[in-house]
Chain A
Amino acid sequence: MINPGKNLIAMAGNPNCGKTTLFNAITGAHQHVGNYPGITVEKKEGYCQVNGIQMQLVDLPGTYSLTAYSPEELVARNFLIQDRPSVVINIVDSSNLERNLYLTVQLLELGVPVLIALNMVDMAASRGVEINYKELGRRLRLPVIPTVARTGKGKAELLEATVQMAQKVDGWEPLHISYGPDIDPVLDKMEAQIQPSGFLTDLHHGRWTALKYLETDEEVIRKGRERDRAVSDKLEELAEQVSQHLQKTLDSYPEAIIADHRYGFITALLKEGVVKQNYKADRLFLSDQLDRVLINRFFGPVLMMLIIYGVYLFTFTYSRAPVEWLGAAFSALGRFADSSLPPGPLKSLLISGVIDGVGGVLGFVPLILFMFFAIAFLEDTGYLARVAYMLDRIFRTFGLHGSSVMAYIISGGIAGGCAVPGVLATRTLRSPRERIATLITAPFMNCGAKLPVFAMLIAAFFPEKEAQLMFVLTILSWIAALLIAKLIRSTVLRGPSTPFLLELPPYRLPTFKGLLIHTWERAWQYVRKAGTIILAFSILFWALMSFPGLPKSEKELYDQIRGSILAEAPQGVRKSLLNSKASAESSNAETAPYRLRLQGVDYEEAHAALKNSIAGRIGSALATITASKNGFDWRINVALLSGIAAKEIILSTMGTAYSLGWSRRGEKIPLSGRLAADPSMTPLKAFSLIIFIMLYAPCLATITCIIRESSWKWGLFSMTFNTAAAFIISMLVYRGGIWLGLG
């Protein structure tokens, strides 16, 4: 029998080394994407069977190093230290051996049992690089298995070797390499301090602890201080001494010397008979040739715009049909519930709260699927890194990162996007401050749900200027997002930009299977994690809009009016009015006038109930401020409040709020007509409203995704900060307009 602790295997490697492809090849569909507790780094786990033994595989985030500077590296390191996998499969890109082995050296320094998967040996061979993997394994004293993750070549041998190794190993054995005459004696001295006191030795070897103190690794030093202040102080003192000595004599630092020696170790390792370069290294490979065009000063940006536009089209064009099917299915379900349930609050909860809520959650799924597919394709081919490279100069000015562009475009940087997939697209961003700033500002973009609201307001107050105004609004949203990002990055998210240092990996064609797994896992994660929260929120909003309802006396009044209309109608007409639940379309000339009058009463009742609801009361209370500052009365306020549930709801709430006088002439006037005819509404107020809608709190689905992608704190921040920004800017528009005499 195998020890149950023995079958935990970790996979570690650089970004772009084919680690995830290999993980997919091994685990197939038996995998699961989650998050490490408290942070947003993805945790990928999977299972596989080898010789009847079940093994649990964890795909650690791709990293170049094992420092404490980034959450990815910290997660990888802490997983190794705390979960103590029995074997670490270290995937090494054989066409980029030196830099990939730098991580290997750090794994070996830590002491975990390592097995090397020498990946993409086919690619290396095509570049004329021949690696004597047996000799490499002999020198490092560990198994080296050549693999090609894309085709699955070497997979069986790799798993076989892993199982064998897992059964054999006991304990960690760190690799001792020399860091030169200045560091080595200090390491020995520090180890002598560590060993007798058992300082952190339950977690890792003393030499590794000492090395981290020399590298001034904040995480290890913090843990050390907690454990034993006296020992930690002594180690810090020793590290400080050697640091000062090195600065004086060599004008260098311990961490620099240590890195030099790691690379020195690798160079020595690969010398004489391990790597053979068959032809000149300077040859231009296909990837470099592609880059001559794709990141060319002139063609690069043009092609980039076309490709980004292509991603946008792909995401929003192909998802349209499934979104419509889902929408139709849920409205059919709503109609079914409407006709089969007795009226009352339960029915309203089911239809407006639950069915609309679930429909709202699932409605985003096609968009998310297509977005993740497109982004994963760009990322896996290596093009996304080029986009960041080309655009970094612009975005950095505003405290963002070149990769922020994808989140902006998907959110509606090209009008008509959606902030939900947009917010999820920030996952490709690894710089924490830049990422949060992108998360908060991406919802300023004009998403597809805001557009019909804008279109209605433009039709009412700026007719025949639709195209120009929509263009202006797109530009305005970009300006607002970038400037507010700058504001956030120089206040709440102040701090130097995260080092850019981005690798431009060779272009590669991703595997279709890998793309599908990637896309599916993330969409499912959205449904599971975000879906439940969105559903709870939409029920909350339903309650705000529905309670406390009208007082009994008023309700009776509306029933009386309905009764008297029915009494006026001739016998036959009354019967059909009472019987059929069908819409006005099925009515004939005789019943139509009565039906319209009845509907008018219904609308008036809905209007009164809305005004009396919690949301309506909040709207009225807020109107004492917003009426003079932004030009919004209670009807607009309540519509804006309902718009937090989903922006397109603004239209239907305004429809209810503005329904007074609807029945006067007995014909249906569209909302834009009613607004234009309303003497209290002016073009200036409408423009102030457009600006407010563009900028205020993201919709619940977006807020939920922001929470999932960062924390509750930032979710609440996006709600309050964005609303405050909207309030101030729309006030400037409104008051400024009045001052200029435009009111």
Chain B
Amino acid sequence: MAIIPLRKMTKGQRGTIHRVTARGELGRRIRDMGLVPGTPFQVQGRAPLKDPVAIRLRNFTLTLRNSESDFIEAEVEETL
């Protein structure tokens, strides 16, 4: 297992939320949408200009800007 920021994840990759480091409004919004530690998710893809990123979690699709995904750390399977 490795811990990497969500921004570094690629399309189709699965992971589990490890930590959300944002505070204030952004932190609250991220948590409100269900991105709390232990939540499994999958990267669905990126917008045509590579930003924002779309992820699938808890049966819905959420998009967030790359700058916002910097505050989210995910646990992923190590790839060789």
B68 at the interface (CB under 8 A from A): yes
Interchain CB contact (< 8 A) of A295 among B25, B30, B47: B47
Q: Is the CB of A98 within 8 A of B58?
A: yes
CB distance from A481 to the nearest CB of B (A): 20
A99 at the interface (CB under 8 A from B): yes
Q: Is the CB of A393 within 8 A of B51?
A: yes
Q: Is the CB of A499 within 8 A of B62?
A: no
- When each residue 520-564 of chain A gets 1 if its CB lies under 8 Å from chain B and 0 otherwise, what string results? 000000000000000000000000000000000000000000000
A501 surroundings in chain B (CB, below 8 A)? 29-30, 33, 62-64, 68
B13 at the interface (CB under 8 A from A): no
What is the bound-complex CA distance between A671 and B47, given in angstroms?
50
Q: Is the CB of A389 within 8 A of B20?
A: no
B60 surroundings in chain A (CB, below 8 A)? 96, 99, 503-505
B25 surroundings in chain A (CB, below 8 A)? 67, 69, 498-499
B79 at the interface (CB under 8 A from A): no
A81 at the interface (CB under 8 A from B): no
Chain A interface residue count, Cβ-Cβ cutoff 8 angstroms: 40
- When each residue 28-65 of chain B gets 1 if its CB lies under 8 Å from chain A and 0 otherwise, what string results? 11111110110100000101111110100011111111
- When each residue 62-83 of chain A gets 1 if its CB lies under 8 Å from chain B and 0 otherwise, what string results? 0011010100000000000000
B8 at the interface (CB under 8 A from A): no
A259 surroundings in chain B (CB, below 8 A)? 28, 31-32, 36
What is the bound-complex CA distance between A587 and B7, given in angstroms?
78
B47 surroundings in chain A (CB, below 8 A)? 295, 389-390, 392-393
A residues 80-124 near B (Cβ < 8 Å) are 95-99, 102
A664 surroundings in chain B (CB, below 8 A)? none
Interchain CB contact (< 8 A) of A64 among B23, B32, B68: B32
What is the bound-complex CA distance between A498 and B29, given in angstroms?
10
Q: Is the CB of A64 within 8 A of B52?
A: no
What is the bound-complex CA distance between A385 and B47, given in angstroms?
12
CB distance from B35 to the nearest CB of A (A): 9
What is the bound-complex CA distance between A65 and B30, given in angstroms?
11
Interchain CB contact (< 8 A) of B26 among A99, A215, A499: A499
CB distance from A13 to the nearest CB of B (A): 14
A394 surroundings in chain B (CB, below 8 A)? 49
**What is the chain A residue whose CB lies nearest that of B57?**
A99
CB distance from B30 to the nearest CB of A (A): 7
Interchain CB contact (< 8 A) of A263 among B23, B34, B48, B54: B34
A648 at the interface (CB under 8 A from B): no
A390 surroundings in chain B (CB, below 8 A)? 47-49
Q: Is the CB of A99 within 8 A of B28?
A: no
Looking at A64, A253, A298, A499, the one whose CB has the most chain B CB atoms below 10 A away is A499
Q: Is the CB of A65 within 8 A of B28?
A: yes
Q: Is the CB of B31 within 8 A of A389?
A: no
B31 surroundings in chain A (CB, below 8 A)? 255-256, 259-260
A617 at the interface (CB under 8 A from B): no
A298 surroundings in chain B (CB, below 8 A)? 48
A-B interface, 4 closest residue pairs, ranked by CB to CB distance from nearest: A259-B31, A393-B49, A65-B32, A504-B61
Provide 5 A-B residue pairs closer than 8 Å at the C-beta atoms, listed in order of the A residue.
Answer: A96-B60, A255-B27, A501-B62, A502-B52, A503-B33
